[in-house]
């Protein structure tokens, strides 16, 4: 029987934003209120956050970077770059965001949980091995993937549907053939990475999959990406765990992007990934919050993830049609062509 774990904790509100900053505590509060209203407490077990160990962080970050952050951030207010702030509560929140992601990965691999949802701040997927950027200090999902490996996972898949490319996650696992990183994102857009030609380093060709969509992409466009690129790749990879970098800034009303995804679109993506997890990974799947700056989109999107994870297994989704022309079709074709040219073709659905 599936067992859900979830993380909702006040510590992630204590990462306090400067006035007007979009990555603000209300993001976590909106999701918390929506999940509580949706009855998450009756569907799963709340997991308390814990601080990431140095070893867990050093699995994905450089020692000098961690030492510099520890010198600068704890108990202070300031900026690590033009976008990435810290406040007196940031250090504890960031260490616990990474720590609980690792805890969930270990719990899922040990069988104590089957699926999990982590509502954490600050987000993580832009943090590289040695650089904080894009609101991110530690790469929470990368740390979870490394922790899963330490707990026996031979292969881990990361699916990133945040509207911004997860350059940090890609950077960390660029040469690791046993970590599959897939990202669908607005392109070109911040941080400027995520071209279809970025397919992994020499030791891991094909283990990075990028689909960069034009502004205005819809639910149907994202479904086509999943059905014709991501799901076939995931099924061929056969992960032991699926991790989701669950950003909700592709939402139609998000102020920082130009996509047109609705909460139904996030639900469709989550159902597809749950089906992959059930087929390949014993149902093991974890969603970790990344971006998303419209409170309605955040609340509704993560509630749909909860429903997808905890509802009885639905029938298979009908295959989404490929667009016949236009920028979305060109983006999908470019990704498929890049992998085929490198000798790592993505199977047809």
Q: Which residues, other chains included, contact 208 with Cβ-Cβ below 8 Å and sequence gap of 6+?
A: 170, 173, 174, 180, 181, 182, 198, 199, 200
Helix and strand numbers (H, E) in the chain are: 12, 10
Any idea of the CA torsion for 151, 156, 159, 164, to the nearest 10 degrees? 80
**DSSP β-ladder status, 156-160 and 241-246:** parallel
Cβ-Cβ contacts under 8 Å for 78 (sequence gap 6 or more): 72, 85, 86
- In the set 126, 164, 165, 228, the catalytic residue is 126
Alpha-carbon span 238 to 305, nearest angstrom: 22
Identify whether 253 is a catalytic site residue: no
DSSP secondary-structure letter at 207?
Answer: S
Q: Which of 49, 3, 17, 10 is nearest to 32 (CA)?
A: 10
Active site residues: 126
């Amino acid at each position: 029987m599936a067992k859900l774990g979830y993380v909702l904790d006040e510590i992630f509100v204590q990462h306090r934003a400067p006035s007007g900053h979009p990555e603000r505590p209300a993001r976590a509060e909106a999701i918390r209120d929506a999940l509580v209203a949706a009855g998450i407490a009756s569907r799963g077990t709340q997991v308390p956050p814990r601080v990431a160990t140095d070893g867990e962080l050093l699995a994905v970050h450089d020692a000098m970077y961690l030492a510099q952050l520890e010198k600068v951030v704890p108990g202070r207010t300031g900026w690590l770059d033009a976008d990435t702030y810290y406040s007196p509560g940031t250090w504890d929140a960031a260490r616990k965001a990474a720590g609980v992601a690792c805890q969930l990965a270990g719990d899922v691999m040990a069988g104590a949980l089957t699926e999990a949802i982590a509502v954490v701040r600050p987000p993580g997927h832009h943090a590289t091995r040695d650089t904080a950027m894009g609101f991110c200090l530690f790469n929470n999902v990368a740390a979870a993937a490394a922790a899963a490996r330490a707990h026996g996972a031979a292969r881990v898949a990361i699916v990133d549907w945040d509207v911004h490319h997860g350059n940090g996650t890609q950077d960390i696992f660029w040469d690791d053939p046993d970590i599959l990183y897939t990202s669908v994102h607005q392109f070109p857009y911040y941080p400027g990475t995520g071209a279809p030609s970025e397919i992994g380093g020499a030791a891991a060709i094909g283990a990075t999959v990028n689909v960069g969509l034009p502004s205005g992409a819809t639910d149907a466009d994202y479904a086509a990406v999943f059905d014709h690129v991501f799901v076939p790749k995931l099924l061929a990879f056969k992960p032991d765990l699926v991790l989701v970098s669950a950003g909700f800034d592709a939402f139609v009303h998000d102020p920082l992007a130009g996509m047109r995804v609705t909460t139904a679109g996030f639900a469709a993506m989550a159902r597809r990934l749950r089906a992959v997890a059930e087929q390949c990974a014993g149902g093991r799947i974890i969603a970790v919050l990344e971006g998303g700056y419209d409170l309605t989109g955040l609340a509704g999107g993560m509630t749909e993830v909860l429903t997808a994870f905890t509802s009885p297994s639905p029938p298979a989704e009908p295959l989404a049609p490929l667009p016949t022309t236009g920028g979305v079709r060109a983006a999908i074709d470019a990704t498929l062509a890049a992998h085929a040219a490198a000798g790592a073709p993505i199977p047809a659905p």
